């Protein structure tokens, strides 16, 4: 059975998580898919900017997006196709969703806004017809997926022997029991 090429929209806001957004999109689209890197020039709510200013902002954003994407793009034999899009508008979620429809996206990858409130992520999650992957600015390869967990020697030895998951001292603090069944 052949794998259908994955079309990924990668929403880039040039924040600290933008490089990870691109890496995740790249990994999902490898082997015949494509990545649609998207940046949105926004901030026009209730204001009609001068057309020359808007075009200048869009052109500047395109140059910046191309530089950002090519800086982090791996040129491997199974690298996905790459497209860059700069859209303008007052509704960032609407623009992300619109491009995901136009590109027949299999998924949208976007950054975690952190303290910015997350309203864009929430709106995209509710409006999208495809899965949404939200990444943050953490390099799990060096940090580890979970924070370090200290295990006492008794717990470790019992766990390795398959006797029980936690020692009696820590069992009350455990949120669950576990046992191997297969």
Tell me the mean pLDDT in the region 3-28: 90
Model confidence over 51-84: pLDDT tens digits?
556 788 889 999 999 999 988 888 888 889 999 9
Show the domains of the chain with their CATH numbers.
Answer: 7-142 (3.40.50.620), 149-182 (no CATH)
DSSP SS3 for 146:
coil
Q: Are strands 132-135 and 107-111 parallel, antiparallel or unpaired?
A: parallel
- Compute the Cα dihedral for 73, 74, 76, 78 and give only its sign: negative
* pTM passes above 0.75: no
Higher pLDDT, 116 or 41: 41
Higher pLDDT, 55 or 105: 105
Could you read off the pLDDT of 132-178 as tens digits, one per residue? 999 876 655 555 555 555 556 666 665 555 555 555 555 555 544 55
Q: Give residue 1's pLDDT band: very low, low, confident or very high (50, 70, 90).
A: very low
Instruction: Give the least confident one: 16-25, 82-91, 134-143.
Output: 134-143
- DSSP letters for 22-54: HHHHHHHHTTT-EEEEEEEE---TT----HHHH
What is the three-class DSSP state of 11?
A: strand
DSSP structure string for 88-116: E-S-HHHHHHHHHHHTT-SEEEEE--GGG
Beta-ladder partners of 107: 8
CA distances from 127 to 42, 115, 147 (A): 19, 22, 33
Instruction: Identify the bridge partners of residue 9 per DSSP, sorted by sequence position.
Output: 36, 108
- More confident site: 138 or 101: 101
């Amino acid at each position: 059975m052949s794998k259908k090429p994955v079309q990924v929209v990668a929403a880039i806001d040039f924040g600290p998580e933008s490089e990870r957004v691109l890496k995740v999109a790249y990994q999902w689209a490898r082997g015949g898919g494509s990545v649609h890197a998207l940046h949105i020039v926004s901030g026009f709510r209730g204001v009609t900017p001068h057309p020359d200013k808007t075009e200048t902002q869009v052109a500047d954003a395109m140059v910046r997006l191309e530089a950002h994407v090519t800086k982090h793009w791996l040129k491997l034999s199974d690298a996905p196709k790459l497209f860059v899009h700069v859209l303008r508008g007052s509704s960032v979620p609407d623009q992300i969703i619109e491009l995901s429809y136009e590109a027949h996206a299999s998924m949208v990858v976007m950054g975690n806004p952190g303290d910015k409130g997350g309203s864009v992520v929430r709106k995209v999650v509710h409006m999208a017809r495809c899965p949404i992957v939200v990444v943050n600015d953490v390099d799990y390869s060096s940090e580890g997926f979970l924070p370090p967990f200290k295990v006492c020697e008794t717990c470790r030895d019992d766990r390795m022997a398959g006797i029980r998951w936690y020692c009696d001292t820590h069992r009350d603090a455990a949120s669950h029991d576990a046992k191997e069944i297969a």
